[in-house]
Amino acid sequence: MQQCTTELLDRNPAAIVLLDERKRIVYANRNADALHSDNDGIKLSVDGLSLLRKQDNDRLQRLIAHVLSMSASSGGAMQAIRPSAKRPYVILVSPVARRYPALSTLRPAVCIVITDPNRQRPVSSDPLRAAFGLTAAEARLAAHLAAGEELRAAAEKLGITYGPKPAARPS
**Domain regions of the chain by residue span:** 2-115, 125-158
- Grouped pLDDT means (10 residues each) for the chain, 171 residues: 61 86 92 92 93 96 90 82 92 79 68 84 73 81 74 84 70 62
pLDDT at 12: 72
CA–CA separation, 25 vs 110, rounded Å?
Answer: 9
Asked if 127 and 55 touch (Cβ cutoff 8 Å), the reply is: no
Task: State the Cα–Cα distance between residues 62 and 18, nearest whole angstrom.
Answer: 16
What global pTM score does this model have?
Answer: 0.68
- The 3-state secondary structure of the chain reads CHHHHHHHHHHCCCEEEEECCCCCEEEECHHHHHHHHHCCCEEEECCEEEECCHHHHHHHHHHHHHHHCCCCCCCEEEEECCCCCCCCEEEEEEECCCCCHHHCCCCCCEEEEEECCCCCCCCCHHHHHHHHCCCHHHHHHHHHHHCCCCHHHHHHHHCCCCCCCCCCCCC
Domain formed by 2-115, architecture? 2-Layer Sandwich (3.30)
Q: Can you give the pLDDT at residue 3?
A: 56
The C-alpha atoms of residue 80 and residue 22 are separated, in whole angstroms, by: 23
C-alpha span between 74 and 17 (Å, rounded): 17
